[in-house]
Structure 1
Amino acid sequence: MLVLLASIGMVFVASWTLYQHAEAVIEDTDRFDLIGERLATDVRVIDGAAPTTRPVLATMLSTGDLQIIWKPADAELDTHPEPKGLAQLHQQLVNANPTLAQTHLQLHPGGPGRWTDISGTLHLSDGSLIGFTAPDILRSHLVTRGVATAAIVALAVLFVALMLVRALSLPLRALVTVADTVGAGEWEPLAEKGPGEVRRLAHAINAMQGRIAHLIDDRTEALAAVSHDLRTPLARLRLRAGFLTDEEARDSIEADIDEMEAMVDGVLAYLSGEKAREACRTLDLATLLSTIADDATDRGGDVTYEGPDRLSVVLPPLATKRVFTNLVENALHYAGSAVIRLTPKAESVMIDVEDNGPGIPENEMPRITNAFHRLELSRSRRTGGLGLGLAIVKREVERANGVLELSNRPEGGLRARVVLPRG
């Protein structure tokens, strides 16, 4: 579009410039010749008339493009020399009309505010003078009118082109928005409008998103159903284990049942929040974090809170509590202690959960927040986790337009940093 517009504009300006310049040169040349012929004729007519009739005769010979006055021999003359810039025009008038060479032709600019006018004097045989003024004879050959016309046309073409491009690109921008939400559970059907290719693409994306949503729903429902239905046989197993007389066998079975129930609870917690969105409301983040630390301490953990006593933010309360509860439980499981540090900023809040555990291998960092991903070597499997804790944390933090950063501390242990907007 820009190349086409620039080409049209350049061709238009160039052709207009050449045409206008050529036309102006031809017109001015003809006008100079005509003025020279009229001056030569006027000199002969006025020189042959009686002195008393010359003023009237000069008035009669004056026209809009050449004004004539007669001055007696004793009249005051303009003693300024002829400017060098008028030498070419002087020579052009004399060459076209040799009679003017005998009249001591002298040219002068028109004066302030009349820069395109030319004035001059001619001497008659008896010493009297003819003064003349040719208005607008030095008009500029700059094509300002042509440039203005070209600019108006170019702007009009640009405006129309921009409107067309905007209209054509609206469906494409909608496609980009939809593509960013594919599989996120927030998709709405895309309007199938615009050019034919865009309509077909929108239809294909709608169909693809429908298939993806159907697959996600089927997977979620299947996992939720299986996880929920496992509660019944687990409850029966716990009941039957209670009747065992072998305490060692009973304790082992109950430990396995506890581990399986923890797995079921983790899966249900992950699936329950996969599509549902909790509404945001004002909460005291400092009180929430200190409460999580106190609850962990009451259960025998070593958790401390560092930060302000009060800090109001607008966040989903249950999801926020789940995020930091999971981070604290991870720290307690793998390190035995944790420190929660809250740092308020101008537009956001930064929460660090630090421990003194083994940390995470650097090659596992990109995958550690994937659902059901576990570390086989560096972290114990005795916790009974499924690798859903950090996956839930990442999902809820991103839903709140926040950022989760995991890094190993130089002094040892893991730092989980969560940055959330305050409003």
Structure 2
Amino acid sequence: MSRAHRVHRALRALARLRAWPDTLFGRLVAILAAGMFAGQLLTSTIWFDTHDNRTLEIPARLFASRLADTVRLLERAPDAAARDAVVARLGDARYQLQWLAAAPPPAPGARPLAQHATGELIEGVIRKRLGEPIDVRLVEAQVRDDSGRHRGILSLFDSRMPTGDFHVQLRVPGQGWLDIRSNEGQAGMHTERGTLVLDYLLRIYLIRFVAICALALIAVRLALNPLHRFAVAAESLGRNIYRAPLPVGGPREVRRAARSFNAMQQQLIDSFAARTRFLSAVSHDLRSPLTRLRLRTEMLPDPAWRERLRGDLDDMEAMVRATLDAVQGIEITEARQRIDVDSMLEGLALDAREAGHRVSVEGTARLPVAGFPRNLKRCLQNLLDNAIRHGNEAAIGVHDDGRRVRIVIADRGPGIADDALRERVFEPYFRLAPKADGAPGGTGLGLTIARSIAAAHGGTLVLTNRIEAGRIAGLDAELTLPRDD
């Protein structure tokens, strides 16, 4: 297996883990949180340095006091022998003093006390004890753990009583240079092991990480609100092109995008209006030649030909009217309102009964549904007409679960073949085989219009053959309307 192939497989495995968020919201939050957390890790050295200096504070004060006392004793010594005796008497395993033959060059790492926080502390204590500054070079100052090792910041986490190691070069006024190495303790003070770790992880990382994540969630949500509004507007535009324009507000980029979106919406409205005007003009212009054809048909001597041409002309006029009616029926030109579905269905059922058809309504909607009354009525009327045309009767059932309203219009017809039940039956001008009794059929646009209106309401229209006793007993047209509450 090649290296490139192994890398590709590893990347695919990582992709399956979905550690990287799939949404823009999640990715922005992850980027912000990771960036802020990385910055916290980089700046945590300041915290470590502060705690390192704090750990060295007591040993540094003790060491500085001892240095001041040493300088005072050496200044009072009458001769060189006395000075050597003082150095020998003061020195021990934890405080080693050695005279230098001459002024030493700056040792590697040596620097003025003022350039080191611990050095500033030592210099301040010496000046206060002696009343005047002296020349001191700090070569080294670091923490030693309980086991005597120099482990840097790790000594802060597992030592109950860490000590400080100091190496300085000091000039005794009028006498020469001393090289001093010392190890000072905490004067009896100690810390519990793990306390510092817990304090650091809890306060510096955990609390701040939670705060950063909360801040990122709020900030990203605020930043993505305009994008969310665009998504909602785009979805509602697909259902109702005549929806209210998107509010123009927020940052300059958001305002520009909102204006572009509103301009696109207006262009679509104008385009549909032009299409409707075009079809209306075509319908109007066709009436004159159709009228002339009817007159010439009536002048034909053969009655059979006259009847056949009359039928063709009737079909042409019906097709033109149906096409124009379909275009106008799909368009949403009214404001969204609260619709009393029960009253609308009862009104349609009453009209059908007055026309001599058997139509029943069972069930009620708990609350009105938000929608477009004229279009919804047309959708229900088309479904009811289909049920009556193919089944001679209709049963309307209303089911409301609080989140959506389901309206099922059932007939007693022969149903629809499975190959046409899903999509073909909704295609424009698709018509089923004519009925055996010769009753007139529709134009093939009723279901197309009904499903378009259902989509404009954010709902669905599904046709299902109803099976009873192992055979098709009719067709159920189920219209589902969601609630926008």
Question: Which TM-score bucket, shorter chain as reference?
Answer: 0.5 to 0.7
Q: Give me the whole-angstrom Cα distance separating, in 1, the residues matched to 2:259 and 2:52.
A: 58
Aligned to 2:375, the other structure's residue is in SS state helix
- Per the alignment, residue 378 of structure 2 pairs with 322
Change (3 A) 1:150 1:221: same
* Counterpart among 414, 418, 422 of residue 479 in structure 2: 418
TM-score (norm 1): 0.58
- Per the alignment, residue 23 of structure 1 pairs with 53
* Counterpart among 368, 378, 387 of residue 444 in structure 2: 387
- Give me the CA root mean square deviation: 4.9
Tell me, yes or no, if structure 1 residue 176 matches structure 2 residue 259: no
Aligned to 2:308, the other structure's residue is in SS state helix
- Per the alignment, residue 11 of structure 1 pairs with 42
CA offsets, 1:38-94, max 9 Å, x none?
xxxxxxxxxxxxxxxxxxxxxxxxxxxxxxxxxxxxxxxxxxxxxxxxxx99999xx
- Per the alignment, residue 109 of structure 1 pairs with none
Say whether the 8 Å CA contact 2:242–2:333 is kept in structure 1.
Answer: no
Q: CA deviation at 1:318?
A: 3.1
Name whichever of 410-419 and 309-318 sits farther off. Answer: 309-318
Q: Give me the whole-angstrom Cα distance separating, in 1, the residues matched to 2:58 and 2:424.
A: 82
Q: CA deviation at 1:223?
A: 1.7
Tell me, yes or no, if structure 1 residue 142 matches structure 2 residue 196: yes
CA offsets, 1:353-391, max 9 Å, x none?
123323143465135434x25157799998564432112
Q: How many residues align?
A: 327
Q: Give me the whole-angstrom Cα distance separating, in 2, the residues matched to 1:324 and 1:377.
A: 23
Name whichever of 242-251 and 397-406 sits farther off. Answer: 242-251
Q: Give me the whole-angstrom Cα distance separating, in 1, the residues matched to 2:161 and 2:310.
A: 121
- Per the alignment, residue 398 of structure 1 pairs with 455
Tell me, yes or no, if structure 1 residue 277 matches structure 2 residue 338: no
Change (3 A) 1:374 1:242: same
Change (3 A) 1:323 1:206: closer
Q: Which amino acid aligns with 2:454?
A: V
Say whether the 8 Å CA contact 1:262–1:385 is kept in structure 2.
Answer: no
Aligned to 1:19, the other structure's residue is in SS state helix
Aligned to 1:359, the other structure's residue is in SS state coil
Work out the percentage of aligned pairs sharing the same amino acid.
28
The unaligned stretches of length 5 or more in structure 2 are 1-31, 68-158, 164-185
Change (3 A) 1:396 1:379: farther
Mapping of residues 40-51 of structure 1, within 5 Å:
none
CA offsets, 1:169-203, max 9 Å, x none?
4553344345435565236378598577x788777
- Per the alignment, residue 260 of structure 1 pairs with 316
Q: Which amino acid aligns with 2:326?
A: Y
Change (3 A) 1:7 1:267: same
Q: CA deviation at 1:227?
A: 2.6
Q: Give me the whole-angstrom Cα distance separating, in 1, the residues matched to 2:275 and 2:162.
A: 98
Mapping of residues 74-89 of structure 1, within 5 Å:
none
Q: Which amino acid aligns with 1:403?
A: T
Aligned to 1:342, the other structure's residue is in SS state strand
Tell me, yes or no, if structure 1 residue 374 matches structure 2 residue 447: no
Q: CA deviation at 1:225?
A: 2.2
TM-score (norm 2): 0.52
The unaligned stretches of length 5 or more in structure 1 are 38-87, 93-117, 119-133
- Per the alignment, residue 396 of structure 2 pairs with 340
